[in-house]
Structure 1
């Protein structure tokens, strides 16, 4: 007999025309924004966040002052090292291709990190893709208390496309 009627993952496609991406999220997202300091410059970062089960799925977008490659690189490094620092892990990443909605791809970074986070030093697994495109740097990430089924990770990352 099945317990409960609602699925843990209620996938829906979210289009963010202002920030130039589309992604599938496993629940209705909430939004947040803040200023972050990258290389001595304050830049706005907005987030769309959805929680499902014991995981948080989020897409963060840093709006850059220009599409200068050095600025893009500094923002990518800031996000990569920040994610790793949050779980006391090395900021290891591999190159991956991020699809464009109009066709084609752009190079990005993919990370899978495991470690301890927070005051309680609880186990966390972080899956992330980082990419710079124009005047934006994107961080698509899943933060979970345990490794997730690969199909849920794939659903999220395979749906992430830039405009």
Structure 2
């Protein structure tokens, strides 16, 4: 009996030590046509914001793990001609949120703009894109020491428009 109890305790300790930090879950937005994997249970909030001179209603869905926020924001614009300015305003706002500067920037094969920024011990990795009149940002933001490349890649590569 003691051996069974000891075995059960060892097994429980081993399993709890192996519990994943990230609980990746598939999320499909109700307000915009996208899907993404979040590392935990996401929460959604919609609010009015100003992107440069544009007033938009942005819906943010996010999950937080160890002080790192994984978020997707989307907004519908009145005119597709506003997309470039709105994308630039989103990038600027995100970098300003961490008091940072852009350290890397590229355009992906599908036309999304990807940036990395750092400032005051914080790091931001973001992908910004548009489809028709809808703009999107998928970002990872938090203490630089808590953000690893593999997790960022898992999150950003899972983001799909449909």
TM-score, structure 1 as length reference: 0.82
RMSD: 1.8
Equivalences for residues 1-163 of structure 1 within 5 A: 2=14, 4=17, 6-68=19-81, 71-91=82-102, 93-97=105-109, 106-116=110-120, 123-147=121-145, 148-163=147-162
- C-alpha separation in 2, matches of 1:150 and 1:38: 29
- Gapped runs of 5+ residues in structure 1? 98-105, 117-122
Equivalent pairs, count: 147
Find the aligned partners of 2:52 and 2:119 in 1 and give their Cα distance: 27
Report which of the two structures shows the higher radius of gyration computed on alpha carbons.
2
Q: What CA distance in whole angstroms lies between the structure 2 residues aligned with 1:31 and 1:8?
A: 21
Structure 2: gaps (5+ residues): 1-12
Distance 2:156 2:67 in 1: 18
In the TM superposition, what whole-angstrom CA distance separates every residue of 1:119-147 from its partner, at most 9, and x where no partner exists? xxxx2111100001112110100112124
Q: With structure 2 as the length reference, what TM-score do the two structures score?
A: 0.82
**Does the CA-based 8 Å contact 2:101-2:118 persist in structure 1?**
no
Higher mean alpha-carbon deviation, 88-97 vs 59-68, is at 88-97
Q: Structure 1 residues 39 and 144 mapped into 2: Cα distance closer, same or farther (>3 Å)?
A: closer
Which structure has greater strand proportion?
1
Distance in 1 between residues matched to 2:52 and 2:94, nearest whole Å:
17
- Structure 2 CA distance, aligned partners of 1:111 and 1:39? 19
The structure carrying a bigger helix percent of its residues is 2
What CA distance in whole angstroms lies between the structure 2 residues aligned with 1:46 and 1:135? 15
